[in-house]
Structure 1
Amino acid sequence: MATANELASLTGLPVSYDSALRETYAGAWQGLTHEEIVERFGEQYLAWKRGEPVRRGGGELETEVADRAAPVVLRHADKLPDNGTLVVVSHGGTIRTTIGRLLGLEAHHWEGLGGLSNCCWSILGEGVRGWRLQEHNAGTLPEPVLGDDD
């Protein structure tokens, strides 16, 4: 919300909030470091890294995140005028799963989209054959993006 508010102050445009765009709930993993997760939930962590559907720490599946977030994006995109722009601000996991869903990728391929750095963006466009990823993780410095799950 803080990022959306900053953008609104720069553009003068209104912000609408939707709790469906919140970050993935990771249950018992919430607030833990990568090392703590591996130590306490090693098997579950390895299954998640292999691309298996895992309720990390008893939290949400990535598909459940996409189930709640993608419809919000689609609903707002449908209201845009021709050549309009929709800016959606959220967290990396929610953005990645939503992009994967909009592109029609199978869930186990969503990780292939890579991480999204803070204050960076992705650009999607809608064409006759559906959504297309035009830019991803734009605005980064020339160093690799590493999430806390690597």
Structure 2
Amino acid sequence: MRLPPLVYLLGLVSFLMDVASEMVYPLLPLFLTGLGAGVSTLGLVEGVAEATASLFKVVGGRISHRLGRRKPLLLLGYGLPALLRPLLALAQSPLHVLLYRFLDRTGKGLRTAPRDALLAEGVPQGALGRAYGLHRGLDTLGATLG
């Protein structure tokens, strides 16, 4: 049984997002220190980023469930970071980077639960493992190549 095109599309989007993210994130500590940030600021930025992603996974899931629609949150969740990434180059202070990371991880959190729900709704029960495995594989490959 072939997987629906939706699985490949979501996998490709995740792949591309991870390639782009992993090309930027390893440079953030160097970029932040170049803006005058210290070690504690680096920790604060990453702590806020990870806490935001975790919190907004719950928020995104709840909104998606209440709306009964997944695509608007997916578009916002993937679009927000994609639109903001080029603006990171304009950051002139650690606060700008903190704001960028907060909004970027908000997008990640908002898209995670609706994406998983969309996969679950669009794939036959017997193919769920393959669908999630393919998606996770493409996501990981994107992170590796990035």
TM-score by length of 1: 0.29
Higher relative contact order (CA 8 A, sep 6+): 2
Q: TM-score, normalised by structure 2?
A: 0.30
The structure that is helix-richer by fraction is 2
